[in-house]
């Protein structure tokens, strides 16, 4: 199969509060916001520019056996956002009130990273991969 993932969904208890968190604290942009008759409000956010969008699905917007199990609970999401400067992103987000799991980004051979959770328990890692240098020829 060819293609790419363009959207993922996380369950939130308060769509408006989640939207505010992702825009005001994380620094994402609102990408989509509409309500089709007879359907729940559809809101997505994501980093600026084209790419992956996160749908903020209101807990309880749909009920019954047709609702997929992941849409029935909070805090099931786990995401990695790759950035060019993790320390800069960390400082900006921390200044806006994001609470990280550690006092500063951690360094590993696979990159420098920092972790936080949204108010609904969805886990995020911001990651700066290591600079790649080609092996000597």
Asked if the structure places residue 133 within a domain, the reply is no
For residue 77, the domain's CATH number is 3.10.180.10
Are 113 and 105 a contacting pair, CB within 8 Å? yes
Asked if the structure places residue 52 within a domain, the reply is yes
What CA–CA distance (Å, rounded) separates 52 from 3? 13
- What's the pLDDT band for 137 if we cut at 50, 70, 90? low
Asked if the structure places residue 27 within a domain, the reply is yes
* 5: Cα separation from own chain's centroid: 14
How do residues 26-79 score in pLDDT, each as one tens digit? Answer: 999 999 999 888 888 999 999 998 889 999 999 988 888 888 888 888 888 888
Asked if the structure places residue 44 within a domain, the reply is yes
Domain that holds residue 55: 7-128
Are 53 and 45 a contacting pair, CB within 8 Å? yes
**pLDDT the model gives residue 88:** 96
- Of 88, 78, 89, the closest CA to residue 125 belongs to 78
How do residues 79-125 score in pLDDT, each as one tens digit? Answer: 899 999 999 999 999 999 999 999 999 999 889 999 999 999 999 99
Residues β-bridged to residue 44: 32, 55
Asked if the structure places residue 136 within a domain, the reply is no
Number of domains, the chain: 1
Asked if the structure places residue 64 within a domain, the reply is yes
Asked if the structure places residue 100 within a domain, the reply is yes
Describe the strand order of the beta sheet including 29-34 as a list of residue ranges.
Answer: 7-12, 53-58, 42-46, 29-34
Asked if the structure places residue 119 within a domain, the reply is yes
Q: What is the pTM of this model?
A: 0.84
């Amino acid at each position: 199969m060819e293609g790419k993932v363009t959207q993922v969904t996380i369950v939130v208890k308060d769509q408006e509060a989640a939207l505010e968190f992702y825009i005001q604290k994380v620094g994402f942009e609102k990408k989509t916001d509409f309500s089709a008759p007879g359907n729940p409000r559809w809101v997505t956010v994501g980093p600026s520019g084209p790419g992956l969008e996160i749908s903020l699905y209101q807990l309880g917007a749909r009920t019954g056996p047709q609702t997929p199990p992941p849409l029935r609970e909070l805090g099931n999401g786990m995401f990695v956002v790759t950035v060019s400067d993790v320390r800069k992103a960390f400082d900006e987000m921390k200044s806006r009130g994001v609470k990280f799991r550690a006092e500063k980004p951690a360094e590993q051979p696979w990159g420098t990273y920092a972790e936080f959770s949204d108010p609904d328990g969805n886990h995020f890692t911001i990651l700066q991969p290591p600079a790649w240098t080609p092996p000597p020829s």
